[in-house]
């Protein structure tokens, strides 16, 4: 055995007692707010994915200390990438009165995102998204502004695209996870569209992205 192996084996025996419970709940409101600060921004994302069915989904980031206690509907556990971190989440699809709502919670029931959207088939008909489509949507590239920098997140990748915008306020960038390539069109105002086949052109993007 090497010294490192001996050292690791010996020190692996030292650990926090199982009986010790971390008390992180004092001043809970303040701490929860700090914990979920990045989720409390109430920002919205809008993306277009050119897939088999056209998916239009708008999810609003959950507020501080928000819990989804009883959502009903179909629940599935999915693996999603959020801000470069892969995490396990429960997606709930609740179709009521012709309106489909989607909620994404962590394993403790804390609300991560919620919103609405539809899948539009080639014949123009609309239907609720499946959990698989929600997962695919969440694993698409996304942009995020941190301070004065704009970052593109794709799975475990984080790319600073601040200097990549043209005079029209658009940035065209290709990202790949090794298996799949995504052609990303990002707008300086935070809008973003991606496709596995081609860049989404300016003429196809919402007009408000350029106002």
Residue with Cβ nearer another protein (140 or 200) = 140
Q: In degrees rounded to 5, what are phi and psi of residue 204?
A: -95, -5
The least distance separating another protein from the CB of residue 34, rounded to whole angstroms, comes to: 5
Which residue lies nearer to another protein by CB, 118 or 161? 161
The number of CA neighbours under 13 Å toward the Cβ of 67 is 6
Phi, psi of 3 (to 5 degrees): -60, -40
Closest approach, Cβ 146 to another protein, in A, equals 7
Which is closer to another protein, CB of 3 or CB of 96?
3
DSSP 91-159: EEEEEETTEEEEEEE-TT-BEEEEEEEEEE-TTS-EEPPPHHHHHHHHTS-EEEEETTEEEEEETTEEE
- Identify which of residues 9 and 197 has a Cβ nearer to another protein in the complex: 9
Contact residues for 172 (Cβ-Cβ < 8 A; gap 6+): 183, 184, 185, 199
Q: Which residues bind another protein (CB under 8 A)?
A: 2-4, 6-11, 13-17, 20, 22-24, 30-31, 34-35, 37-38, 83-85, 87, 106, 108, 146, 158
Least Cβ distance, residue 61 to another protein (angstroms): 13
CA atoms of 82 and 155, how far apart (whole Å): 8
**Minimum CB distance to another protein smaller for 32 or for 95:** 32
Q: In whole angstroms, how close is the CB of 22 to another protein at the nearest point?
A: 5
Shortest CB 163 distance to another protein, Å? 19
Sign of torsion over alpha carbons 194, 197, 201, 205: negative
Q: How many CA atoms lie within 13 A of 49 on its CB side?
A: 25
Tell the smallest beta-carbon distance from residue 82 to another protein (Å): 10
d(CA 133, CA 23): 38
Nearer to another protein, 85 or 168 (CB): 85
């Amino acid at each position: 055995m090497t010294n490192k192996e001996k050292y690791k084996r010996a020190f692996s025996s030292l650990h926090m007692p199982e009986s010790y419970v971390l008390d992180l709940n004092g001043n809970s409101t303040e701490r929860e707010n700090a914990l979920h600060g990045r989720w409390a921004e109430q920002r919205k994302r809008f993306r277009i994915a050119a897939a088999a069915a056209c998916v239009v989904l708008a999810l609003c980031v959950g507020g501080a200390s928000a819990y989804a206690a009883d959502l009903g509907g179909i629940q599935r556990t999915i693996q999603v990438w959020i801000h470069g971190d892969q995490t396990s989440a429960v997606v709930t699809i609740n179709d009521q009165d012709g309106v489909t709502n989607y909620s994404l919670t962590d394993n403790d029931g804390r609300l991560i995102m919620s919103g609405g959207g539809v899948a539009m088939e080639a014949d123009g008909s609309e239907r609720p998204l499946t959990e698989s489509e929600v997962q695919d949507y969440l694993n698409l590239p996304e942009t995020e502004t941190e301070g004065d920098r704009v970052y593109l997140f794709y799975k475990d990748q984080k790319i600073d695209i601040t200097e990549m915008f043209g005079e029209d306020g658009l940035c065209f960038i290709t990202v790949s996870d090794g298996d799949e390539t995504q052609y990303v069109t990002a707008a300086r105002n935070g809008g973003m569209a991606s496709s596995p086949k081609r860049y989404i052109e300016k003429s196809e993007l919402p007009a408000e992205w350029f106002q």
